[in-house]
Structure 1
């Protein structure tokens, strides 16, 4: 059976542990993933020492208040018990005077068991003497004598009385006679008197009175001594200590020597007190269970003691506003911490979270993401910068792709412009006349160079060639034109060694060479020279195509330069590249095509310079940034593959 019970408890325990782990993991995730939770925790941690100090100060002040009240009350009780000691000593001294008065003692001795008429007169005189003694001390209510031989009760308030029932007298006198020669409180059981018998003792044992008794026999000579009974009204004693009661809930108890309760205020239960306990303790009430502060003052002389009880809540009542103020401050501090953490989150963490969201969207390729913000501080600047960055990136990506597509489109237009009926007609016409005027060797050479030119121009869609390969490719075209124009010009190449391996867009130089041949050597009456040169200077690749042809007139040169400068910016280059039959399509379309391709591929820093002197020749210079032509072949191939895919 126990084994089965354990087996039944294990799943519940395991489920509880798993639940705790889940809650712990949930809290850890909230703390690690949310800045607001961390800010709140940090603010509360900052408040924690303040809250702890406030609570400690509150508790400490409460303890100090209780200690101070206990000290003041203890002092007051000590004063009260001292006053009661003084009053009791006066009573005791009075009782001793009465008990040892020679005339009183002789009168009692003469009385015997059967007082005579003369003795009764002496008893009257004795009562007068007792009355005189009792009036000296206002604390006394009644002074009585119990004369055991004659079983006679003499009382200052009620006169004399003789008990005929010896058994009844002996029972009461036996209880009272145990005090000896010291004045002590009479300890008579409450059930010692049958109904109505208590009244026969002249109020001596009335509950509202306290009776103190002592033996009048200095030397015990009989089993039942003569007794002196001093009666004090409890209300009189109570009036001595009532001023010590500080509130309606406080209670005072007066104890005689031996621990018997003499009197008390109110109807509260009698507190239990250990003689070994301290003079100030806190115990729960026997009736309500409420904590009570119990303070005792005990007389070393008489053994009497005063105990005052007061609810702890009543002691702390003056400090309640301070305590509630402390709690209110703590609550307001916690609320302020939560509010400040929320404000900080809204003012700092929320924009950061918004930026993080924008970064995630940007990482997923969402270039349309825009973050709304009206802030004018640093975070607003960051959000605005993020929006600008996204917009710039979108423009750059779109511009890059559009640029490459336009470049391909421009090159395609260029190739289409080269393969036109005029070029084919002139080429075929040249081949025809060459075949007539010359023999088949020249025709075969022209066809050979022409086929090599087209084959390299359409070489698997490759974008760039090294400058050395470009010159070889260009030479096939030049050779066809040389044969066409009957060797009217010769060509010279000056390619520097540091520029041979630099990559250049294909067919970039062919329009320049074509213009030099068609416009420079067409009407020339002597042999011309075409020079193609390259060098690296000041971080730029410089390529020059120069001819010694007829040159360009100055006004025509200015027009060409103005038209080329107008299309130098990227926007107009794109506009030019996208137009098929626009107004810019004229006889120097090839030059503008070169400018467009350079700007699109090599950027705004590339440029083309045109210089010409009429009847002397023309020089076209291309300047391309060196960092854009190094290892350009691999990058161009990769990008071409990307565009084609």
Structure 2
């Protein structure tokens, strides 16, 4: 798709007004198509009617010309077959005698009588080939002798047969406006027709009768057919020889379709389109062609065509105007409503849309304003209260876990005191003091993942001393996840379960791994071990109970709904899952994978957009100070308070 096409597509898909305009214009297409078809069809009908009328007039004219040519043909037949004329020509021989010349004078007198009674005839001539004599009613007789001019011209005009045919004018023999050596039979103002006078050829070249007609006389017969000054009439003899025409300097192009009597051609002079109508005589082969500019023919249809274009233009303007009115009355309020919804989505609860309409759109905008107001009151009156209750429950659930860890930690110190010297107990107490001091954290709820792992290591170190270094620990935390905020005390229950349940009866050295990654917009934190694992039935039971607990939702009673019926063996996992749902929402998940004899892996998925935390800027400084292993830190561990 081109850039222009992409721009149009973008405008069409993003703007209702553009689509409305396009739809209105598309609805006009049938009207435009019908109007244009009617205009074109009216022109065709007009041309057909004019062609029929013109053809009828031309048929009448060509019929009159046929009649005149038949008269001339009969006259030529009469002269050519006259016995006295034939006898006088035969007696003349090669060298006419005085008697023959007198007979030629009588022949000319007789032919002059024929020309006087027939206004179409201009001149009658005889070409006697044996004596090379030319007899003309206008100029008398003339003998060429051995003239080379005679041989060059006479050889080209010799005809055979008993029918008159148009004599082609040799260019070197014509002399416009005056007499030439051929007594004017080649004058461009005249047309000459020739026929043989010998029924049985007796010489190499026959004797010829030449009938000369004035072109102007022929033109006057067809000139009344001209409908306008720009129209042209052409008269053609048999074989397509142009006889005469009205005006112009060029003939029309060749008639390439003999089966049609009406064609449209471009004028060779002006280039404008001309409607040409032809009428051809089947008897003589002569034809008359009338050529008239199409622009003149279409003048009567011009008002109709103008009104058609005017209607189309008005319809297009109305389409744009109606689309604009519809847009202002319907689409514009919808755009304001869409703007208000976008503002509401960004949290702007002060948005109000002003509109005084009383129709359905006015009701819709008023409903939107009421919805925004209800939303604002709901957030203030209900949602804030629920948020406060959720935070209270979160803090209470978090406070429940501290005594649980304290109990197990003191139990670890007890066993270590029985089995080891006081130095180890001192180290355990030091780590324990750091753990509880950071757990308090001045009421802050989140650590970065790096700080969480550092905090977790204090607890792990206590357990390593308790279990006589029977397990080791690895931390695989990616650099991009170290600064992500994480709710505190989420990992301690998972690590505690791995140590107490996974390594309790382990015969080989245990390995505890803590993994942190970022993937697909989620923070993944996993605790895995190579302990004894969980049996398949027990694993299914744990998953089922956790799933039921999370479907019923964390309760403000701060106890799981199935705790009384099924014991409290999943207290740590339920606590972690409940705190995640309360703090991070429904997108957070807890997954457990385990295989008996291989180990267990617990994965926590929390959305990154919920990991903003509210820990203060001095958390890192406080944790760094907790890492210091100096003597004063050891003294502070005894009291559990440092700040």
TM bracket (short chain): 0.5 to 0.7
SS of equivalent to 2:115: helix
Per-residue deviation at 1:256?
A: 1.4
Query: Quick one: distance in 2 between partners of 1:234 and 1:266?
Result: 13
Give CA deviations for 1:167-216 in whole Å, capped at 9, x if unaligned: 43344333333243211111242135699997122221101100111122
The residue that corresponds to 1:378 in the other structure is 360
Q: Does 1:101 align with 2:85?
A: no
Query: Is the Cα contact below 8 Å between 1:127 and 1:156 reproduced in 2?
Result: yes
The residue that corresponds to 1:62 in the other structure is 43
Q: Does 1:182 align with 2:163?
A: yes
Query: Quick one: distance in 1 between partners of 2:110 and 2:18?
Result: 92
Per-residue deviation at 1:403?
A: 11
Query: Quick one: distance in 2 between partners of 1:129 and 1:243?
Result: 34
- Aligned counterpart in structure 2 of residue 50 of structure 1, from 20, 31, 48: 31
The residue that corresponds to 2:121 in the other structure is 140
Cα RMSD (Å) of the superposition? Answer: 3.8
Cα distance change on mapping 1:354 and 1:196 into 2, 3 Å = closer
Query: Is the Cα contact below 8 Å between 1:142 and 1:232 reproduced in 2?
Result: yes
Cα distance change on mapping 1:278 and 1:81 into 2, 3 Å = same
Give CA deviations for 1:90-128 in whole Å, capped at 9, x if unaligned: 111111112222333334344444444454444333323
Give CA deviations for 1:31-50 in whole Å, capped at 9, x if unaligned: 33322122112112211222
Cα distance change on mapping 1:252 and 1:195 into 2, 3 Å = closer
The residue that corresponds to 1:331 in the other structure is 313
Residue correspondence of structure 1 range 158-307 to structure 2 within 5 A: 158-192=139-173, 199-270=180-251, 271-274=253-256, 276=258, 278-307=260-289
Query: Is the Cα contact below 8 Å between 1:151 and 1:166 reproduced in 2?
Result: no
Per-residue deviation at 1:345?
A: 0.4
The residue that corresponds to 1:40 in the other structure is 21
Question: Which residues of structure 1 form unaligned runs of 5+?
Answer: 1-16, 405-632, 636-640
The residue that corresponds to 1:353 in the other structure is 335
Give CA deviations for 1:154-178 in whole Å, capped at 9, x if unaligned: 3222333343445433443333332
SS of equivalent to 1:154: strand
Query: Is the Cα contact below 8 Å between 1:285 and 1:291 reproduced in 2?
Result: yes
Query: Quick one: distance in 1 between partners of 2:236 and 2:335?
Result: 76
Query: Quick one: distance in 2 between partners of 1:306 and 1:160?
Result: 36
Per-residue deviation at 1:68?
A: 3.4
Cα distance change on mapping 1:330 and 1:113 into 2, 3 Å = same
Query: Is the Cα contact below 8 Å between 1:198 and 1:205 reproduced in 2?
Result: no
The residue that corresponds to 1:362 in the other structure is 344
The residue that corresponds to 2:450 in the other structure is none
The residue that corresponds to 1:587 in the other structure is none
Query: Is the Cα contact below 8 Å between 2:173 and 2:182 reproduced in 1?
Result: no
SS of equivalent to 1:191: coil
The residue that corresponds to 1:342 in the other structure is 324
Query: Is the Cα contact below 8 Å between 2:175 and 2:186 reproduced in 1?
Result: no
Query: Is the Cα contact below 8 Å between 1:373 and 1:383 reproduced in 2?
Result: yes
Query: Quick one: distance in 1 between partners of 2:99 and 2:290?
Result: 53
Cα distance change on mapping 1:395 and 1:98 into 2, 3 Å = same
The residue that corresponds to 1:310 in the other structure is 292
Give CA deviations for 1:10-53 in whole Å, capped at 9, x if unaligned: xxxxxxx6xx2x65554444333322122112112211222222
The normalised TM-score by structure 1 is 0.54
The normalised TM-score by structure 2 is 0.54
The residue that corresponds to 1:526 in the other structure is none
Per-residue deviation at 1:73?
A: 2.9
Give CA deviations for 1:418-454 in whole Å, capped at 9, x if unaligned: xxxxxxxxxxxxxxxxxxxxxxxxxxxxxxxxxxxxx
Per-residue deviation at 1:344?
A: 0.5
Question: Which residues of structure 2 form unaligned runs of 5+?
Answer: 387-554, 558-581, 584-613, 615-643
Cα distance change on mapping 1:380 and 1:91 into 2, 3 Å = same
Cα distance change on mapping 1:100 and 1:79 into 2, 3 Å = same
Query: Is the Cα contact below 8 Å between 1:279 and 1:296 reproduced in 2?
Result: yes
SS of equivalent to 1:206: coil
Query: Quick one: distance in 2 between partners of 1:324 and 1:175?
Result: 58
The residue that corresponds to 1:81 in the other structure is 62
Query: Quick one: distance in 1 between partners of 2:97 and 2:368?
Result: 129
The residue that corresponds to 1:321 in the other structure is 303
Per-residue deviation at 1:262?
A: 1.2
Query: Quick one: distance in 2 between partners of 1:314 and 1:220?
Result: 55
